[in-house]
Amino acid sequence: MRDMLAAIQTLVRNGEIRISEKMMRKRIHSKLIHEGQYVAEVDVELIETDESWSPYLSIEDAYRLDDVRDSLRRGDIRAATRQARVFSLTPVTV
């Protein structure tokens, strides 16, 4: 991997390839994950660009969402609360 990065850096320095600098904005957004009787609120950073895939998550935030969901599925609430705010849902009868 480092060899590939070094090769790309060399190509950029030599002007053989150009890296486009696009306008990129980041904003914090809360994502809700519902599993069973629990809901976790996870703050993630949305990355907005002028491209059609915008907005998107960083890979780290995507993995964090997966980790919280997996923790809730296993019933490991303690692990989920390390990365999110966890709420217990109570059914309401009328």
65-83 pLDDT per residue, tens = 999 999 999 999 999 999 9
User: In the predicted model, is pLDDT for residue 19 greater than 80?
Assistant: no
Residue-wise pLDDT for 36-63, tens only, equals 999 999 999 998 887 777 788 888 999 9
For the chain, which residues make up each domain, given as ranges? Answer: 22-88
User: In the predicted model, is pLDDT for residue 22 greater than 80?
Assistant: no
User: In the predicted model, is pLDDT for residue 21 greater than 70?
Assistant: no
- pTM for this entry: 0.70
Nearby residues of 38 by Cβ (< 8 Å), 6 or more positions away:
72, 77, 80, 86, 87, 88, 89
Sign of CA dihedral 5, 10, 12, 13: positive
Percentage of residues in the chain with pLDDT exceeding 70? Answer: 87
User: In the predicted model, is pLDDT for residue 90 greater than 80?
Assistant: yes
